Chain A
Protein backbone atom coordinates (compact mmCIF):
# COMPACT_ATOMS: atom_id res chain seq x y z
CA UNK A 1 0.00 0.00 0.00
CA UNK A 2 2.87 2.35 0.68
CA UNK A 3 1.04 4.93 2.78
CA UNK A 4 -0.01 3.66 6.16
CA UNK A 5 -3.77 3.79 6.61
CA UNK A 6 -4.88 5.76 9.63
CA UNK A 7 -8.22 6.06 11.30
CA UNK A 8 -9.22 9.12 9.27
CA UNK A 9 -8.52 7.24 6.02
CA UNK A 10 -11.10 4.55 6.77
CA UNK A 11 -14.42 4.82 4.95
CA UNK A 12 -17.77 4.89 6.72
CA UNK A 13 -18.43 1.15 6.47
CA UNK A 14 -15.08 0.42 8.09
CA UNK A 15 -15.66 3.04 10.79
CA UNK A 16 -18.89 1.47 12.04
CA UNK A 17 -16.99 -1.76 12.74
CA UNK A 18 -19.77 -4.26 12.20
CA UNK A 19 -19.11 -5.24 8.54
CA UNK A 20 -15.43 -5.59 9.40
CA UNK A 21 -16.24 -7.74 12.42
CA UNK A 22 -18.40 -9.95 10.19
CA UNK A 23 -15.48 -10.30 7.77
CA UNK A 24 -13.25 -11.40 10.62
CA UNK A 25 -15.85 -13.87 11.83
CA UNK A 26 -16.14 -15.33 8.33
CA UNK A 27 -12.39 -15.82 8.23
CA UNK A 28 -12.27 -17.66 11.57
CA UNK A 29 -15.27 -19.78 10.58
CA UNK A 30 -13.51 -20.75 7.34
CA UNK A 31 -10.45 -21.77 9.32
CA UNK A 32 -12.45 -24.00 11.63
CA UNK A 33 -13.11 -26.46 8.80
CA UNK A 34 -9.62 -26.53 7.35
CA UNK A 35 -7.49 -29.66 7.84
CA UNK A 36 -5.62 -29.63 11.13
CA UNK A 37 -1.85 -29.47 11.47
CA UNK A 38 -1.65 -31.44 14.72
CA UNK A 39 -0.20 -34.94 14.51
CA UNK A 40 -1.85 -37.49 16.82
CA UNK A 41 1.58 -38.57 18.03
CA UNK A 42 1.52 -42.05 19.57
CA UNK A 43 -0.84 -43.31 16.85
CA UNK A 44 0.60 -41.28 14.00
CA UNK A 45 4.37 -40.98 13.85
CA UNK A 46 6.57 -38.38 12.28
CA UNK A 47 8.84 -39.93 9.65
CA UNK A 48 11.81 -37.61 9.29
CA UNK A 49 13.57 -36.84 5.99
CA UNK A 50 17.07 -38.17 5.29
CA UNK A 51 18.65 -34.94 6.51
CA UNK A 52 17.30 -35.55 10.03
CA UNK A 53 19.92 -36.09 12.75
CA UNK A 54 18.50 -38.59 15.20
CA UNK A 55 20.30 -41.08 17.44
CA UNK A 56 23.83 -41.94 16.16
CA UNK A 57 24.18 -45.65 15.28
CA UNK A 58 26.91 -48.02 14.07
CA UNK A 59 26.48 -49.53 10.62
CA UNK A 60 26.31 -53.34 10.60
CA UNK A 61 27.29 -55.16 7.38
CA UNK A 62 25.24 -58.02 5.92
CA UNK A 63 27.57 -60.59 7.52
CA UNK A 64 26.81 -59.21 10.97
CA UNK A 65 30.15 -57.42 11.48
CA UNK A 66 30.50 -53.73 12.12
CA UNK A 67 32.18 -51.40 9.61
CA UNK A 68 33.93 -49.56 12.39
CA UNK A 69 37.71 -49.98 12.48
CA UNK A 70 38.04 -48.39 15.93
CA UNK A 71 40.20 -45.49 14.76
CA UNK A 72 38.79 -43.37 17.57
CA UNK A 73 38.27 -40.23 15.46
CA UNK A 74 34.66 -39.95 16.51
CA UNK A 75 35.51 -40.06 20.16
CA UNK A 76 38.22 -37.41 19.57
CA UNK A 77 35.86 -35.03 17.72
CA UNK A 78 32.85 -35.48 19.98
CA UNK A 79 32.29 -32.07 21.68
CA UNK A 80 30.59 -33.36 24.85
CA UNK A 81 32.84 -36.48 25.08
CA UNK A 82 29.89 -38.85 24.73
CA UNK A 83 31.66 -41.60 22.76
CA UNK A 84 34.04 -44.15 24.26
CA UNK A 85 35.87 -46.61 21.99
CA UNK A 86 38.22 -49.43 22.95
CA UNK A 87 39.98 -51.13 20.04
CA UNK A 88 41.00 -54.78 19.69
CA UNK A 89 42.74 -56.80 16.94
CA UNK A 90 40.73 -58.96 14.58
CA UNK A 91 41.92 -62.35 13.29
CA UNK A 92 42.70 -60.71 9.95
CA UNK A 93 46.03 -58.97 9.51
CA UNK A 94 46.33 -55.23 10.32
CA UNK A 95 42.62 -54.87 11.10
CA UNK A 96 41.01 -53.71 14.27
CA UNK A 97 37.48 -53.64 15.59
CA UNK A 98 35.86 -51.87 18.56
CA UNK A 99 35.83 -54.22 21.50
CA UNK A 100 33.74 -51.69 23.37
CA UNK A 101 31.78 -48.86 21.77
CA UNK A 102 29.61 -46.78 24.07
CA UNK A 103 27.64 -43.60 23.49
CA UNK A 104 26.24 -41.79 26.49
CA UNK A 105 22.90 -40.56 25.20
CA UNK A 106 22.57 -38.08 28.07
CA UNK A 107 25.68 -36.33 26.76
CA UNK A 108 25.09 -36.62 23.03
CA UNK A 109 24.07 -33.30 21.46
CA UNK A 110 23.19 -34.74 18.03
CA UNK A 111 25.71 -32.49 16.26
CA UNK A 112 26.67 -35.16 13.73
CA UNK A 113 30.44 -34.50 13.96
CA UNK A 114 31.10 -38.22 14.50
CA UNK A 115 29.49 -39.18 11.22
CA UNK A 116 31.21 -36.29 9.43
CA UNK A 117 34.66 -37.32 10.63
CA UNK A 118 34.24 -41.08 10.11
CA UNK A 119 36.40 -42.30 7.20
CA UNK A 120 34.53 -45.60 6.89
CA UNK A 121 30.85 -44.45 6.91
CA UNK A 122 30.64 -46.61 9.98
CA UNK A 123 28.75 -44.26 12.31
CA UNK A 124 25.71 -42.39 10.97
CA UNK A 125 22.79 -40.48 12.40
CA UNK A 126 19.56 -42.49 12.26
CA UNK A 127 15.93 -41.34 12.15
CA UNK A 128 15.25 -42.62 15.66
CA UNK A 129 14.06 -39.80 17.93
CA UNK A 130 12.22 -41.74 20.62
CA UNK A 131 14.81 -41.73 23.39
CA UNK A 132 13.65 -42.16 26.95
CA UNK A 133 15.41 -43.68 29.95
CA UNK A 134 14.39 -44.34 33.51
CA UNK A 135 17.93 -44.15 34.94
CA UNK A 136 21.42 -43.01 34.04
CA UNK A 137 22.81 -46.49 33.39
CA UNK A 138 20.19 -47.16 30.71
CA UNK A 139 21.27 -44.02 28.90
CA UNK A 140 24.69 -45.49 28.02
CA UNK A 141 24.16 -47.37 24.79
CA UNK A 142 26.57 -50.25 24.11
CA UNK A 143 27.24 -52.12 20.88
CA UNK A 144 24.10 -54.22 21.29
CA UNK A 145 21.90 -51.14 20.90
CA UNK A 146 24.11 -49.23 18.50
CA UNK A 147 24.50 -51.79 15.73
CA UNK A 148 21.87 -51.34 13.02
CA UNK A 149 21.79 -53.31 9.71
CA UNK A 150 23.02 -51.26 6.76
CA UNK A 151 19.76 -51.86 4.86
CA UNK A 152 17.88 -49.64 7.33
CA UNK A 153 20.33 -46.77 6.97
CA UNK A 154 20.51 -46.54 3.16
CA UNK A 155 18.62 -43.20 3.17
CA UNK A 156 21.14 -41.43 5.36
CA UNK A 157 24.19 -42.94 3.63
CA UNK A 158 22.91 -41.75 0.23
CA UNK A 159 22.32 -38.31 1.74
CA UNK A 160 25.85 -38.17 3.16
CA UNK A 161 27.40 -39.21 -0.17
CA UNK A 162 25.52 -36.43 -1.89
CA UNK A 163 25.99 -33.54 0.54
CA UNK A 164 28.90 -34.25 2.87
Chain B
Protein backbone atom coordinates (compact mmCIF):
# COMPACT_ATOMS: atom_id res chain seq x y z
CA UNK B 1 0.00 0.00 0.00
CA UNK B 2 1.44 3.34 -0.95
CA UNK B 3 1.47 6.32 1.41
CA UNK B 4 -1.27 8.09 -0.58
CA UNK B 5 -3.54 5.08 -0.34
CA UNK B 6 -2.98 4.82 3.41
CA UNK B 7 -3.83 8.49 3.81
CA UNK B 8 -7.03 8.14 1.77
CA UNK B 9 -8.20 5.05 3.63
CA UNK B 10 -7.41 6.63 7.00
CA UNK B 11 -9.29 9.81 6.11
CA UNK B 12 -12.35 7.81 5.04
CA UNK B 13 -12.18 5.82 8.28
CA UNK B 14 -11.82 8.98 10.38
CA UNK B 15 -14.85 10.57 8.74
CA UNK B 16 -16.91 7.39 9.19
CA UNK B 17 -15.92 6.90 12.82
CA UNK B 18 -16.50 10.55 13.68
CA UNK B 19 -19.96 10.50 12.11
CA UNK B 20 -20.87 7.33 13.96
CA UNK B 21 -19.46 8.76 17.19
CA UNK B 22 -21.39 12.02 16.95
CA UNK B 23 -24.64 10.24 16.13
CA UNK B 24 -24.14 7.77 18.97
CA UNK B 25 -23.35 10.59 21.38
CA UNK B 26 -26.47 12.54 20.49
CA UNK B 27 -28.66 9.46 20.77
CA UNK B 28 -26.96 8.48 24.00
CA UNK B 29 -28.11 11.79 25.45
CA UNK B 30 -31.61 11.12 24.12
CA UNK B 31 -31.68 7.62 25.60
CA UNK B 32 -30.34 8.88 28.89
CA UNK B 33 -33.30 11.22 29.13
CA UNK B 34 -35.80 8.59 28.01
CA UNK B 35 -34.44 5.87 30.30
CA UNK B 36 -34.23 8.20 33.28
CA UNK B 37 -37.87 9.04 32.63
CA UNK B 38 -38.89 5.40 32.33
CA UNK B 39 -37.14 4.48 35.56
CA UNK B 40 -39.10 7.24 37.30
CA UNK B 41 -42.40 6.23 35.68
CA UNK B 42 -42.41 9.25 33.35
CA UNK B 43 -42.40 9.42 29.55
CA UNK B 44 -39.41 11.63 28.78
CA UNK B 45 -38.98 13.80 25.67
CA UNK B 46 -41.38 12.44 23.04
CA UNK B 47 -42.50 15.56 21.16
CA UNK B 48 -39.86 16.45 18.56
CA UNK B 49 -40.30 14.05 15.68
CA UNK B 50 -41.60 10.50 16.12
CA UNK B 51 -41.26 9.62 19.83
CA UNK B 52 -38.82 12.52 20.20
CA UNK B 53 -36.08 11.12 17.96
CA UNK B 54 -35.17 14.62 16.72
CA UNK B 55 -34.72 15.93 20.28
CA UNK B 56 -30.87 15.76 20.24
CA UNK B 57 -30.76 17.95 17.12
CA UNK B 58 -33.14 20.44 18.69
CA UNK B 59 -30.94 20.53 21.80
CA UNK B 60 -27.74 21.12 19.83
CA UNK B 61 -29.41 23.81 17.74
CA UNK B 62 -30.63 25.56 20.88
CA UNK B 63 -27.14 25.46 22.42
CA UNK B 64 -25.63 26.88 19.21
CA UNK B 65 -27.95 29.88 19.35
CA UNK B 66 -27.26 30.64 23.02
CA UNK B 67 -25.14 33.57 24.11
CA UNK B 68 -21.60 32.63 25.12
CA UNK B 69 -21.00 34.19 28.55
CA UNK B 70 -17.45 34.34 29.88
CA UNK B 71 -17.13 35.48 33.52
CA UNK B 72 -15.09 38.65 34.11
CA UNK B 73 -12.71 36.82 36.47
CA UNK B 74 -12.09 33.95 34.06
CA UNK B 75 -8.83 33.48 32.21
CA UNK B 76 -10.15 33.81 28.65
CA UNK B 77 -7.50 31.72 26.86
CA UNK B 78 -7.57 28.71 29.17
CA UNK B 79 -11.31 29.06 29.56
CA UNK B 80 -11.65 28.56 25.80
CA UNK B 81 -8.94 25.93 25.58
CA UNK B 82 -10.40 23.57 28.19
CA UNK B 83 -13.48 22.42 26.22
CA UNK B 84 -11.31 22.03 23.13
CA UNK B 85 -9.00 19.66 25.01
CA UNK B 86 -11.99 17.75 26.35
CA UNK B 87 -13.47 17.25 22.87
CA UNK B 88 -10.12 16.43 21.29
CA UNK B 89 -9.34 13.76 23.86
CA UNK B 90 -12.80 12.28 23.61
CA UNK B 91 -12.70 11.91 19.85
CA UNK B 92 -9.03 11.05 19.43
CA UNK B 93 -9.20 8.12 21.83
CA UNK B 94 -11.57 6.25 19.58
CA UNK B 95 -8.87 5.84 16.94
CA UNK B 96 -7.48 2.60 18.36
CA UNK B 97 -10.65 0.64 19.08
CA UNK B 98 -11.20 -2.06 16.43
CA UNK B 99 -14.80 -2.59 15.38
CA UNK B 100 -14.32 -5.62 13.07
CA UNK B 101 -11.71 -7.87 11.49
CA UNK B 102 -9.89 -6.53 8.37
CA UNK B 103 -12.09 -5.79 5.37
CA UNK B 104 -10.91 -6.90 1.91
CA UNK B 105 -11.86 -4.13 -0.51
CA UNK B 106 -10.45 -3.22 -3.98
CA UNK B 107 -7.71 -5.80 -3.40
CA UNK B 108 -6.56 -4.22 -0.11
CA UNK B 109 -6.66 -5.55 3.42
CA UNK B 110 -8.09 -2.65 5.42
CA UNK B 111 -8.03 -3.04 9.20
CA UNK B 112 -11.28 -1.54 10.55
CA UNK B 113 -9.60 0.66 13.11
CA UNK B 114 -8.41 4.17 12.37
CA UNK B 115 -4.89 3.60 13.68
CA UNK B 116 -3.74 0.02 14.15
CA UNK B 117 -0.88 1.00 16.47
CA UNK B 118 0.87 -1.65 18.52
CA UNK B 119 0.71 0.42 21.72
CA UNK B 120 -3.03 1.06 21.43
CA UNK B 121 -3.91 0.39 25.06
CA UNK B 122 -1.12 2.66 26.26
CA UNK B 123 -2.38 5.35 23.89
CA UNK B 124 -5.86 5.20 25.41
CA UNK B 125 -4.51 5.37 28.97
CA UNK B 126 -2.27 8.31 28.03
CA UNK B 127 -5.05 10.28 26.33
CA UNK B 128 -7.59 9.75 29.09
CA UNK B 129 -5.00 11.17 31.49
CA UNK B 130 -4.81 14.27 29.30
CA UNK B 131 -8.58 14.46 29.69
CA UNK B 132 -8.05 15.29 33.37
CA UNK B 133 -6.40 18.53 32.29
CA UNK B 134 -9.53 19.64 30.46
CA UNK B 135 -11.65 19.36 33.60
CA UNK B 136 -9.03 20.73 35.98
CA UNK B 137 -8.20 23.68 33.74
CA UNK B 138 -11.89 24.39 33.17
CA UNK B 139 -12.43 24.46 36.91
CA UNK B 140 -9.41 26.59 37.61
CA UNK B 141 -9.79 29.11 34.78
CA UNK B 142 -13.46 29.86 35.45
CA UNK B 143 -12.64 32.04 38.47
CA UNK B 144 -15.43 30.47 40.50
CA UNK B 145 -15.05 28.50 43.70
CA UNK B 146 -17.57 25.85 42.69
CA UNK B 147 -15.80 25.20 39.43
CA UNK B 148 -12.45 25.04 41.20
CA UNK B 149 -13.75 22.51 43.73
CA UNK B 150 -15.15 20.42 40.88
CA UNK B 151 -11.84 20.54 39.03
CA UNK B 152 -9.81 19.57 42.10
CA UNK B 153 -12.13 16.71 42.94
CA UNK B 154 -11.94 15.48 39.40
CA UNK B 155 -8.14 15.42 39.31
CA UNK B 156 -7.89 13.61 42.66
CA UNK B 157 -10.52 11.10 41.62
CA UNK B 158 -9.02 10.39 38.21
CA UNK B 159 -5.50 9.92 39.56
CA UNK B 160 -6.74 7.50 42.23
CA UNK B 161 -8.78 5.41 39.88
CA UNK B 162 -6.25 5.39 37.07
CA UNK B 163 -4.04 3.19 39.25
CA UNK B 164 -6.58 0.41 39.70
CA UNK B 165 -7.52 0.80 36.04
CA UNK B 166 -3.90 0.40 34.96
CA UNK B 167 -3.41 -2.70 37.11
CA UNK B 168 -6.60 -4.29 35.79
CA UNK B 169 -5.45 -3.66 32.23
CA UNK B 170 -2.09 -5.23 33.09
CA UNK B 171 -3.91 -8.52 33.68
CA UNK B 172 -5.39 -8.39 30.21
CA UNK B 173 -2.01 -7.57 28.71
CA UNK B 174 -0.44 -10.58 30.43
CA UNK B 175 -2.95 -12.83 28.70
CA UNK B 176 -2.74 -11.21 25.30
CA UNK B 177 1.03 -10.63 25.38
CA UNK B 178 0.45 -7.51 23.30
CA UNK B 179 -0.63 -3.89 23.67
CA UNK B 180 -2.34 -3.95 20.28
CA UNK B 181 -6.17 -3.85 20.62
CA UNK B 182 -6.65 -6.14 17.59
CA UNK B 183 -4.31 -8.74 19.10
CA UNK B 184 -6.13 -8.50 22.43
CA UNK B 185 -9.45 -9.16 20.71
CA UNK B 186 -8.01 -12.12 18.80
CA UNK B 187 -6.40 -13.57 21.91
CA UNK B 188 -9.82 -13.91 23.53
CA UNK B 189 -11.20 -16.08 20.74
CA UNK B 190 -14.94 -16.49 20.60
CA UNK B 191 -15.69 -17.42 24.21
CA UNK B 192 -12.44 -17.15 26.27
CA UNK B 193 -13.44 -13.67 27.30
CA UNK B 194 -11.21 -11.92 29.78
CA UNK B 195 -14.38 -11.18 31.76
CA UNK B 196 -14.69 -14.91 32.56
CA UNK B 197 -10.99 -15.51 33.04
CA UNK B 198 -10.39 -12.59 35.41
CA UNK B 199 -13.72 -11.53 36.92
CA UNK B 200 -12.12 -9.42 39.64
CA UNK B 201 -10.15 -7.47 37.08
CA UNK B 202 -13.31 -7.01 35.03
CA UNK B 203 -15.19 -5.55 38.00
CA UNK B 204 -12.35 -3.25 39.03
CA UNK B 205 -11.95 -2.06 35.44
CA UNK B 206 -15.66 -1.34 35.04
CA UNK B 207 -15.80 0.53 38.35
CA UNK B 208 -12.67 2.53 37.44
CA UNK B 209 -14.18 3.27 34.03
CA UNK B 210 -17.24 4.70 35.77
CA UNK B 211 -14.97 6.87 37.91
CA UNK B 212 -12.84 7.94 34.93
CA UNK B 213 -15.87 9.03 32.92
CA UNK B 214 -17.32 10.90 35.92
CA UNK B 215 -20.51 8.90 35.80
CA UNK B 216 -22.73 8.28 38.75
CA UNK B 217 -22.14 6.95 41.38
CA UNK B 218 -18.80 8.74 40.99
CA UNK B 219 -19.87 12.06 39.47
CA UNK B 220 -18.39 14.19 42.25
CA UNK B 221 -16.79 16.72 39.86
CA UNK B 222 -20.29 17.90 38.94
CA UNK B 223 -22.25 16.99 42.04
CA UNK B 224 -25.22 19.30 41.49
CA UNK B 225 -26.46 19.61 45.08
CA UNK B 226 -23.05 20.73 46.37
CA UNK B 227 -21.25 22.37 43.47
CA UNK B 228 -24.02 23.92 41.31
CA UNK B 229 -22.72 22.41 38.06
CA UNK B 230 -19.16 21.48 39.06
CA UNK B 231 -16.34 22.30 36.68
CA UNK B 232 -18.69 23.54 33.93
CA UNK B 233 -20.72 25.91 36.10
CA UNK B 234 -19.36 28.95 34.29
CA UNK B 235 -19.69 27.57 30.79
CA UNK B 236 -22.48 28.35 28.37
CA UNK B 237 -23.41 27.93 24.72
CA UNK B 238 -21.17 25.76 22.53
CA UNK B 239 -18.42 25.53 25.16
CA UNK B 240 -20.86 23.86 27.49
CA UNK B 241 -22.04 21.65 24.65
CA UNK B 242 -18.42 20.62 24.05
CA UNK B 243 -18.08 19.41 27.65
CA UNK B 244 -21.41 17.70 27.42
CA UNK B 245 -20.47 15.92 24.19
CA UNK B 246 -17.06 14.98 25.58
CA UNK B 247 -18.61 13.45 28.67
CA UNK B 248 -20.86 11.22 26.62
CA UNK B 249 -18.15 10.45 24.08
CA UNK B 250 -15.98 9.31 27.00
CA UNK B 251 -18.75 6.95 28.02
CA UNK B 252 -18.77 5.46 24.53
CA UNK B 253 -15.00 5.04 24.64
CA UNK B 254 -15.20 3.40 28.06
CA UNK B 255 -17.82 1.01 26.70
CA UNK B 256 -15.70 0.35 23.60
CA UNK B 257 -12.63 -0.33 25.73
CA UNK B 258 -14.52 -2.71 28.02
CA UNK B 259 -15.83 -4.60 24.98
CA UNK B 260 -12.37 -4.80 23.44
CA UNK B 261 -10.46 -5.74 26.57
CA UNK B 262 -12.93 -7.93 28.41
CA UNK B 263 -15.91 -8.94 26.29
CA UNK B 264 -14.24 -10.45 23.23
CA UNK B 265 -14.48 -7.39 20.99
CA UNK B 266 -16.32 -7.99 17.73
CA UNK B 267 -16.52 -11.82 18.06
CA UNK B 268 -19.86 -13.55 18.52
CA UNK B 269 -19.72 -15.73 21.66
CA UNK B 270 -19.55 -19.55 21.19
CA UNK B 271 -19.68 -19.26 17.43
CA UNK B 272 -16.94 -19.05 14.85
CA UNK B 273 -18.27 -16.87 12.06
CA UNK B 274 -15.23 -17.69 9.91
CA UNK B 275 -16.44 -21.32 9.70
CA UNK B 276 -19.63 -20.30 7.89
CA UNK B 277 -17.69 -19.44 4.74
CA UNK B 278 -19.56 -16.19 4.15
CA UNK B 279 -18.23 -13.47 1.89
CA UNK B 280 -15.67 -11.25 3.61
CA UNK B 281 -17.86 -8.13 3.59
CA UNK B 282 -20.78 -10.03 5.16
CA UNK B 283 -18.56 -11.35 7.94
CA UNK B 284 -17.27 -7.85 8.60
CA UNK B 285 -20.83 -6.47 8.67
CA UNK B 286 -21.94 -9.09 11.19
CA UNK B 287 -18.87 -8.38 13.31
CA UNK B 288 -19.59 -4.64 13.31
CA UNK B 289 -23.16 -5.46 14.36
CA UNK B 290 -21.92 -7.67 17.19
CA UNK B 291 -19.55 -4.98 18.40
CA UNK B 292 -22.27 -2.35 18.49
CA UNK B 293 -24.75 -4.67 20.21
CA UNK B 294 -22.18 -5.36 22.95
CA UNK B 295 -21.36 -1.68 23.23
CA UNK B 296 -25.04 -0.70 23.30
CA UNK B 297 -25.72 -3.17 26.09
CA UNK B 298 -22.85 -1.70 28.10
CA UNK B 299 -24.03 1.86 27.48
CA UNK B 300 -27.48 0.87 28.66
CA UNK B 301 -25.80 -0.56 31.76
CA UNK B 302 -24.07 2.81 32.31
CA UNK B 303 -27.40 4.65 32.17
CA UNK B 304 -29.16 2.01 34.23
CA UNK B 305 -26.53 2.26 37.01
CA UNK B 306 -26.85 6.02 36.98
CA UNK B 307 -30.52 5.90 37.82
CA UNK B 308 -30.15 3.17 40.44
CA UNK B 309 -27.31 4.22 42.72
CA UNK B 310 -26.82 7.31 44.86
CA UNK B 311 -23.63 9.38 44.70
CA UNK B 312 -20.62 8.48 46.87
CA UNK B 313 -19.37 10.88 49.50
CA UNK B 314 -15.89 12.22 48.78
CA UNK B 315 -14.09 10.26 51.54
CA UNK B 316 -16.01 7.11 50.60
CA UNK B 317 -14.93 7.57 47.00
CA UNK B 318 -11.26 7.87 47.97
CA UNK B 319 -11.60 4.98 50.44
CA UNK B 320 -13.11 2.76 47.77
CA UNK B 321 -10.42 3.70 45.28
CA UNK B 322 -7.40 3.16 47.49
CA UNK B 323 -8.53 0.58 50.03
CA UNK B 324 -10.70 -1.65 47.85
CA UNK B 325 -10.14 -1.22 44.13
CA UNK B 326 -6.34 -0.94 44.27
CA UNK B 327 -5.76 -4.14 46.34
CA UNK B 328 -8.38 -5.99 44.28
CA UNK B 329 -6.64 -5.12 41.02
CA UNK B 330 -3.35 -6.34 42.53
CA UNK B 331 -5.00 -9.61 43.56
CA UNK B 332 -6.29 -9.93 40.02
CA UNK B 333 -2.76 -9.49 38.65
CA UNK B 334 -1.49 -12.30 40.89
CA UNK B 335 -4.43 -14.47 39.85
CA UNK B 336 -3.71 -13.95 36.16
CA UNK B 337 -0.03 -14.68 36.67
CA UNK B 338 -0.95 -17.89 38.51
CA UNK B 339 -3.31 -18.93 35.69
CA UNK B 340 -0.59 -18.41 33.13
CA UNK B 341 1.95 -20.32 35.27
CA UNK B 342 -0.37 -23.30 35.71
CA UNK B 343 -2.06 -23.64 32.33
CA UNK B 344 0.00 -22.02 29.62
CA UNK B 345 3.52 -23.17 30.35
B304 CB contact (under 8 Å) in A18, A28, A34, A36 = A28
Cβ contact within 8 Å between A27 and B308: yes
Find the B residue at minimum CB distance from A29. Answer: B304
Find the B residue at minimum CB distance from A38. Answer: B43
Cβ contact within 8 Å between A28 and B41: no
User: Of residues 300 to 322 in B, which have CB atoms within 8 Å of A's CB atoms?
Assistant: 304-305, 307-309
Is residue B35 within 8 Å, beta carbon to beta carbon, of the partner chain? yes
Is residue A21 within 8 Å, beta carbon to beta carbon, of the partner chain? yes
Is residue A32 within 8 Å, beta carbon to beta carbon, of the partner chain? yes
Given A21-B309, A24-B309, decide whether A31 and B304 contact each other with a Cβ distance below 8 A.
Answer: no
Cβ contact within 8 Å between B308 and A36: no
Chain B residues near A29: list those with CB within 8 A.
304
Is residue A161 within 8 Å, beta carbon to beta carbon, of the partner chain? no
Chain A residues near B203: list those with CB within 8 A.
18
Cβ contact within 8 Å between B308 and A25: yes
Is residue A94 within 8 Å, beta carbon to beta carbon, of the partner chain? no
Chain A residues near B305: list those with CB within 8 A.
21, 25
Given A32-B35, A32-B38, decide whether A24 and B43 contact each other with a Cβ distance below 8 A.
Answer: no
Cβ contact within 8 Å between A28 and B308: yes
Main secondary structure of the interface of A (DSSP, over half): helix
Is residue B39 within 8 Å, beta carbon to beta carbon, of the partner chain? yes
Find the B residue at minimum CB distance from A18. Answer: B203
Find the A residue at minimum CB distance from B301. Answer: A25
Is residue B2 within 8 Å, beta carbon to beta carbon, of the partner chain? no
Chain B residues near A27: list those with CB within 8 A.
308
In the bound complex, CA of A27 to CA of B40 (Å): 11
Interchain nearest-CB distance for A32 vs B (Å): 4
In the bound complex, CA of A160 to CA of B43 (Å): 37
User: Of residues 143 to 173 in B, which have CB atoms within 8 Å of A's CB atoms?
Assistant: none
Is residue B42 within 8 Å, beta carbon to beta carbon, of the partner chain? yes
Interchain nearest-CB distance for B49 vs A (Å): 15
In the bound complex, CA of A3 to CA of B42 (Å): 35
In the bound complex, CA of A31 to CA of B304 (Å): 11
Chain B residues near A24: list those with CB within 8 A.
308-309
User: Of residues 32 to 62 in B, which have CB atoms within 8 Å of A's CB atoms?
Assistant: 35, 37-43
Interchain nearest-CB distance for A129 vs B (Å): 21
Is residue A37 within 8 Å, beta carbon to beta carbon, of the partner chain? yes
Given A25-B308, A28-B307, decide whether A38 and B42 contact each other with a Cβ distance below 8 A.
Answer: yes
Chain B residues near A92: list those with CB within 8 A.
none
Is residue A40 within 8 Å, beta carbon to beta carbon, of the partner chain? yes
Interchain nearest-CB distance for A19 vs B (Å): 13
Q: Give per-residue flags for B1-44: 1 if the beta carbon is below 8 A from chain A beta carbons, else 0.
A: 00000000000000000000000000000000001011111110
Chain A residues near B308: list those with CB within 8 A.
21, 24-25, 27-28
Residue of B42, B304, B308, B309 most packed against chain A (CB within 10 A): B308
Chain B residues near A37: list those with CB within 8 A.
41-42
Chain A residues near B35: list those with CB within 8 A.
32
Interchain nearest-CB distance for B215 vs A (Å): 14
Find the B residue at minimum CB distance from A40. Answer: B43
Chain A residues near B37: list those with CB within 8 A.
38
Chain B residues near A40: list those with CB within 8 A.
43
| Given A25-B308, A40-B43: 18 more A-B contacts, CB < 8 Å | A18-B203, A21-B305, A21-B308, A21-B309, A24-B308, A24-B309, A25-B305, A28-B39, A28-B304, A29-B304, A31-B40, A31-B41, A32-B38, A36-B41, A36-B42, A36-B43, A38-B37, A38-B43
**Chain B residues near A (Cβ < 8 Å):** 35, 37-43, 203, 304-305, 307-309
9 sampled A-B residue pairs with Cβ under 8 A: A18-B203, A21-B305, A24-B309, A28-B304, A29-B304, A32-B35, A37-B41, A38-B43, A40-B43
Top-4 shortest CB links A-B: A38-B43, A32-B38, A28-B308, A24-B308
